[in-house]
Structure 1
Amino acid sequence: MTAFTLHDLQCFDAVARSGGFQAAAELLHRSHPAVHAAVTRLERQLGLQLLDRSGYRVALTAAGQSFHRKAQTTLAQLAGLQVHAQQLAMGEEDELRVVIGDICPQREVLATLAGFFRRHPRTRLHVQVEAVSGPVERLLAGDADLIVHAVDKGDARLEWIDLAKIPFVPVAAPGFLPFAPTRMLRPAQLREHTQCIIRDTAARPGRSYFMVEGAPQCSVPDQLMKKEVILQGLAWGHLPRFLVQRELEEGSLLSLAGRHMPGSVQELVAARRSDRPHGPVAQELWQFLSSSQSRPAGRP
């Protein structure tokens, strides 16, 4: 058996994933004949039939399925090696772009970043605040090097460091509701009352949180404005507990949490792309955040 090339392996993987030579060619930005020749050459070099070409769509043979599983592992390792080599070749960054999400305790997060960047005066920190699905959209679009927000931990494009758990609680000002709230309060009872929500800064908004369908709404850009709207008795809504703990203790806000409206706990993380190279300062910031939490960085 002669040695096969990385190009041949990539072409086979693309055909296996896309289900056809033309789709694989488009995926790899190569011609159909070039992809077909590469896979045929790979089969000949291995002495195996990897693809069943008898149907409308090509399919993996039993040998092809087994070989493809191993090939995917190899290709992932090679991609990781390429990213590592790019990181080694990068010089110290002039700027790092960090996006802070709306669920963050901003003072604590900014103090942490300030402590790090005081040791790196040649790298300018560019901070941007985004809301709801905006931080993840900025990260995936390549407009941020790191975000501090909640993410989908099942997204293979991301790696993360757990920072904190942020409880959210539904609240209203005393007298906002025409009845005394109890722990049996249901969302349907709030449908006639204005709900304050955070505007999603993403170009393509994602899922909505805590929305009561059919309720009148007012939207605000951030949690502080949301808190003020609720304090003034203009609406009700969910807020991070760290932002309203004093008001709940003083009675200037009432918790609406109960059996049917339990609130939620959001996992605050620092996240970055796992499939992109990161410069030396970004790497050091990642290690700084990881070690400050005394637990390892998460990876899907």
Structure 2
Amino acid sequence: MQSFDAVVAHGGFEAAARALHRSHPAVFAAVAKLERQLGIALLDRSAYRVRLTDAGRAFHHKARTILHEMQGLRRYAAQLAMGQESELRIVLGDFCPPAPLLARLSRFFAGHAGTRLHLALEAVGGPVERLLDGDADLIVHGVDRHDPRIESIALGKVAFVPVMAPGFVSPTRKNLRPDDLRASTQAIIRDTARHTPAKDHFMIAGAHQCTVPDHATKKEVILHGLAWGHLPRFLVEKELRSGKLVSIAGRHLPGSVETLVAARRADVPHGPVAQALWEHIAAQWKAL
């Protein structure tokens, strides 16, 4: 059934063999054996490219459900065989509110003393890249929630607001346009992704940039009038109230609202402590 599914997915026996790391004759024989066992022709081999017969199309629809369930059973069996993990690797992204996150992690790992927490801080595309590369068991950041490789638990919304020190742009007008800031230095977070293509987050093309490692440093740079930039609102509420920073959000610089999630791979097994942490997050982290 796996060979048959691969032939359908990849459009032929040769491509299916490469995807399964098997030989072409082995995949051909496996599908032929399946057809003999079922007593029906699943594939029409009369043309240059094989294609599904009507019976094959109906069978493939059911077979995919069974294969998906089998994959889940394999992951579950691997999870049962793992035993308690000696280490969990967690990556926090650049716009996580650190204090509540660390407090929750501290309470959880206090009850799982046999598992050591390996904590890393990454920015922009770094957290998701670490997860997909297998270098993290769990990340807390933003993800593409349509990516089938990733499952996630929404923890809350983080608003980003464009800010500057008073008088950084003189005079400070309402409804500034990106062109009004092109001559000013913009502070941006350094992307820690190693091979993922960089994404354009609020960057104004042609503007001079000041690159910083995290939002705390970015905030200090902006407070001292060296640049402007977008910061998480939770990080600048006090400064906005006191007037040490001013918001330049408007029609042309609206800022954004990002969804903060806890995320893990959906297509790999997870050990008992990782699963316990996932359930703990689902039950108790929603108010983050």
Give the shorter-chain TM-score range: over 0.9
What displacement does 1:89 show? 1.6
Residues 22-78 of structure 1 deviation map (CA, whole Å, 9 limit, x = unaligned): 110011010001111111222232233222323332222333222222211111110
Partner residue of 1:251?
Answer: 243
Partner residue of 1:196?
Answer: 187
What displacement does 1:159 show? 1.1
Residues 163-182 of structure 1 aligned to structure 2 (within 5 Å): 163-182=155-174
Structure 2 unaligned residues grouped into runs of 5+: none
Contact 2:154–2:286 (Cα < 8 Å) also in 1: no
Residue identity opposite 2:119 in structure 1: V
Partner residue of 2:117?
Answer: 125
Residues 219-267 of structure 1 deviation map (CA, whole Å, 9 limit, x = unaligned): 1110101111111111111100000011111111111111121111111
Residue 235 (str. 1) matches residue 227 (str. 2):
yes
Partner residue of 1:102?
Answer: 94
Residues 115-154 of structure 1 aligned to structure 2 (within 5 Å): 115-154=107-146
Structure 1 unaligned residues grouped into runs of 5+: 1-8, 296-300
Residue 291 (structure 1) aligned to one of 269, 283, 286: 283
Partner residue of 1:75?
Answer: 67
Q: How many residue pairs get matched?
A: 286
Q: TM-score of the superposition, structure 2-length normalised?
A: 0.95
What displacement does 1:294 show? 5.6
What displacement does 1:189 show? 1.8
Partner residue of 1:47?
Answer: 39
Residues 81-96 of structure 1 aligned to structure 2 (within 5 Å): 81-96=73-88
Percent identity of paired positions between Structure 1 and Structure 2: 62
Could you say if the C-alpha distance between residues 60 and 214 of structure 1 is closer, same or farther in structure 2, counting changes exceeding 3 Å?
farther
Residues 13-32 of structure 1 aligned to structure 2 (within 5 Å): 13-32=5-24
Distance 2:142 2:32 in 1: 45
Distance 1:268 1:294 in 2: 10
Residue 280 (str. 1) matches residue 245 (str. 2):
no
Residues 257-280 of structure 1 deviation map (CA, whole Å, 9 limit, x = unaligned): 111211111111111111111111
Residue 207 (structure 2) aligned to one of 204, 209, 215: 215
Task: Determine helix, strand or coil for the equivalent of 2:279.
Answer: helix
When the two chains are superposed, the root-mean-square deviation of aligned CA atoms in Å is: 1.4
Contact 1:193–1:215 (Cα < 8 Å) also in 2: yes
Could you say if the C-alpha distance between residues 189 and 294 of structure 1 is closer, same or farther in structure 2, counting changes exceeding 3 Å?
closer
Distance 2:245 2:86 in 1: 45
What displacement does 1:88 show? 1.3
Distance 2:17 2:262 in 1: 36
Distance 2:238 2:54 in 1: 63
Residues 6-33 of structure 1 deviation map (CA, whole Å, 9 limit, x = unaligned): xxx0001111111111110011010001
Q: TM-score of the superposition, structure 1-length normalised?
A: 0.92
What displacement does 1:120 show? 1.3
Task: Determine helix, strand or coil for the equivalent of 2:85.
Answer: coil
Distance 2:55 2:98 in 1: 54
Contact 1:162–1:293 (Cα < 8 Å) also in 2: no
Distance 2:274 2:248 in 1: 42
